[in-house]
Amino acid sequence: MPEQRNRYEGFPQRPVLFIELHSRRAQPLRVKLLVDTGNPYSLVISDNLLTEYGGQPAFGTITNFGSMNAAWMRLRIPELGFDRRLVVYSNAEVVEAVKRSKPDFDGLAGLPLLRRLEYGGNSDSFWLRTD
Per-residue pLDDT of the chain (131 residues), as tens digits, is: 899 999 999 999 999 999 999 998 899 999 999 999 999 999 999 999 999 999 999 999 999 999 999 999 999 999 999 999 999 999 999 999 999 999 999 999 999 999 999 999 999 999 999 97
pLDDT of residue 68: 97
Residue 23, domain CATH: 2.40.70.10
pLDDT of residue 1: 83
pLDDT of residue 23: 94
For residues 45 and 32, what is the distance between their CA atoms, to the nearest angstrom? 10
* 10 burial via Cβ count (<10 Å: 0-12, 13-18, 19+): middle
* 90 burial via Cβ count (<10 Å: 0-12, 13-18, 19+): buried
| Contact of 1 with 129, CB cutoff 8 Å | yes
The reported pTM is 0.95
Range of the domain at 57: 3-129
Q: How many domains does the chain have?
A: 1
pLDDT of residue 49: 97
Q: What angle do CA 82, 72, 119 make, to 5 degrees?
A: 35
